[in-house]
Structure 1
Amino acid sequence: MTTTRAQGRRRLDASVPAEYELPVRQPRLDSPATAVLVRNVVAAAWALGTLVSALVIVDVDLPGWIFRPAAALLTVALTVGLTHRAGGHLRIWPALAGVLCLLAVALQTNGLLVAAAALTGVVGAVWAVMVTRPADGLVEILREFVVALTVAASGAVGVAAWNAPVDVETFSFVVVAAAITLAISMVWALGAGLHGLGRLHLAVLVGVAVAVVAVIAYGSIVRAYGSPGLLALIDDVVYTMRTTIGGVPRPVEVFIGFPALVVGVSMRSVRREGWWVLVFAVIGTAVVTTSLVSPGAYPTYITLSTLYSAVLGLGLGLAARRVLGSQSAIRSARAVQEPHRVEPPRLSGLK
């Protein structure tokens, strides 16, 4: 009597290590010691700029002139990090950012201050996402989530330190739009074309895009055409939450930005097309970087609102990841299992 062995999932040869899909340029500096020194200098500049810029929202006895130079230092460090990560020209983009920041600090005209603050918000939001790495397990996802929020928070205090005279709504919209545009161009340059998306992942991308349009459209319609009773109800809910728990979660972060961050880094562990989901995560990080642009913003309220948004968005993202993971497992139960992707280290270039 013969028995038929149950056929399980076929696996690729694990003895052959996975390789990164894109060619990576040679090290920009020949000496490894010099490269480490430059990396440490940039990291120290980012930390110092963040620390001093953060003091602008704290009641400390410091001269007011110190904050804008700190914001300039932070902006240049963020630009260096983003340019290096995306494989851009370090001799061009950080230099241009440095010139803009230098002029803004020296001349302090409204236009230059607004432009410098916008640059800080954009590069902070995009680098917060680009600096993440593929994450497969829960611990790795939490790590990347914290990394992205930390970088975005540094961009927020940098924007606040510029103390630029802006219209808050217009400024926030411009920063979000510019950050999304920059993220799309960088993701496209990484070769994450739509042709590699399976039907499930393409459905995820379309679903996130629909959610973006729905949330933005609903908010605009309510503000423009909502009845006085509905607007009063919303104001009452916001006031109650603000007085009881100290903050109000932001829908665009809860339903779009932060869940996209979780799903994107998880998808990237298998497919590079996960970068497309992370484009929508830039919306969440851009909202964070612009959250302190108003001089009248209360730091405690903004911090608690971001914290509540992060917790809710993280939970929603983990739930979406679980649903998508179970569906993907069912569909590919008898298919060849895809190996985990590898990417360059966090502080190395992606191309």
Structure 2
Amino acid sequence: MVPIGPDWLDGAGAVVVATAYAWGLAARTGGRPLVFGLLTLVCALGAVISDQDLLLTGAAVSTAALASVFGIMLTVPAAGFLTAARECGIALACAGVGAMAAIGFEPAIQKERFEYVGLGLAFAGAMVLVYRLGAGFHGLGRRGLVAVAIGASTLAVSLLYAEMLRRYGSSGLVEELLDLVRWSRDTLGAFPRPIEAILGVPALAYGCHIRARRRQGWWVCAFGVAATAPAATALANPAVTFTEAFLSIVYGLLIGLAIGWVLIRLDLALTGNRGRRSRVAEQAAAVRPEPARFAPLL
């Protein structure tokens, strides 16, 4: 993957990133950094030294999932939209580094399976952590329950539709969609990931917005893995260059932030903050305490 340096540099970099992310995630979520960091180091080193495709692929997809969850956990509450946009960028940057580490293991993968497994592991891990951070199911509340239901439905429908289209879609419809993808790649340099733009980024931006006001925002942030997981597996397709993968993530971020802005404005309008002065006052009062970015959450 790296055009310079010794042959072992890719694997060494992947091991370092995976270990650092495991250590950081454990420290951030109140776990045991030393235990999980050493465990990850041993597993990653074992996979690289063994040079077995099964172990290397497992290490790669685990690193992608780890980076996806860590990106979500690194975010902080956002009182305003610009702060929420910044948090989305930080989460995706963290996942992007994880994408390079995952490919550094040089796994033998099947693209769709790798992406689905990475997303599934990331979503499961995020839900386990959010259950603790969001005060369990009883901390959801009515609005939180509605938001989680919408997020889960959108995720399920998106994945099901994509799979059904890939397997059983009519040739005419598939060809039209492929023409759109080809036009975007030729004209803009990349095509945005739909699940990132439609669900992942809006959920993360809106979730950070809610976290500045209510703890249940963590449940919405969990669906941000629909953005970070595609970013962490963006290099799984060998036909995609680094530049195209980067542009795809950026385009998805921009589209998702536009949707997130609409969601935040609707939330403010529904809570009675319709005028500019009311929104400014509400934003100034959104000061729910939460540990700093690099401090333990629990």
Q: In structure 2, what is the Cα distance between the partners aligned to 1:174 and 1:322?
A: 34
Residue 92 of structure 1 and its aligned partner are, at CA, apart by: 2.1
Q: Which amino acid aligns with 2:215?
A: R
Matched, 1:296 2:228: no
Q: In structure 2, what is the Cα distance between the partners aligned to 1:152 and 1:218?
A: 25
C-alpha RMSD over aligned residues: 1.8
Higher helix proportion (structure 1 or 2) = 2
Q: Which amino acid aligns with 1:294?
A: N
Q: In structure 1, what is the Cα distance between the partners aligned to 2:8 and 2:21?
A: 21
Residue in structure 1 matching 2:252, options 299, 309, 316: 309
Task: Show the counterpart of 2:38.
Answer: 95
Task: Show the counterpart of 1:212.
Answer: 155
Deviations 1:240-268 (A, max 9, x none): 11111111111100111010110011100
Task: Show the counterpart of 2:19.
Answer: 76
Report if the CA contact (8 A) 2:92-2:227 is conserved: no
Task: Show the counterpart of 1:126.
Answer: 69
Residue 207 of structure 1 and its aligned partner are, at CA, apart by: 1.5
Aligned residues: 290
Task: Show the counterpart of 2:97.
Answer: 154
Q: 1:228 to 1:173 in 2, by over 3 A?
A: same
Matched, 1:66 2:13: no
Equivalent residues in 2 for 1:1-351, closer than 5 Å: 56=1, 60-329=3-272, 340-351=287-298
SS at match of 2:34: coil
Residue 330 of structure 1 and its aligned partner are, at CA, apart by: 6.2
Q: 1:263 to 1:339 in 2, by over 3 A?
A: closer
Q: Which amino acid aligns with 1:304?
A: L
> Which structure 2 segments of 5+ residues have no match?
none
Report if the CA contact (8 A) 1:123-1:179 is conserved: yes
Task: Tell which structure's C-alpha radius of gyration is larger.
Answer: 1
TM-score (norm: length of structure 1): 0.78
Q: In structure 2, what is the Cα distance between the partners aligned to 1:105 and 1:347?
A: 30
Q: In structure 2, what is the Cα distance between the partners aligned to 1:166 and 1:350?
A: 35
Residue 230 of structure 1 and its aligned partner are, at CA, apart by: 0.7
Task: Show the counterpart of 1:34.
Answer: none
Residue 339 of structure 1 and its aligned partner are, at CA, apart by: 5.7
Q: Which amino acid aligns with 1:297?
A: V
Q: Which amino acid aligns with 1:202?
A: L
Deviations 1:82-104 (A, max 9, x none): 01011112232111101111112
Q: Which moved more, 1:220-229 or 1:262-271?
A: 220-229
Could you tell me the percent identity over the aligned residues? 34
Q: Which amino acid aligns with 1:235?
A: L
Deviations 1:12-61 (A, max 9, x none): xxxxxxxxxxxxxxxxxxxxxxxxxxxxxxxxxxxxxxxxxxxx36xx33
Task: Show the counterpart of 1:50.
Answer: none
Report if the CA contact (8 A) 1:163-1:293 is conserved: no
> Which structure 1 segments of 5+ residues have no match?
1-55
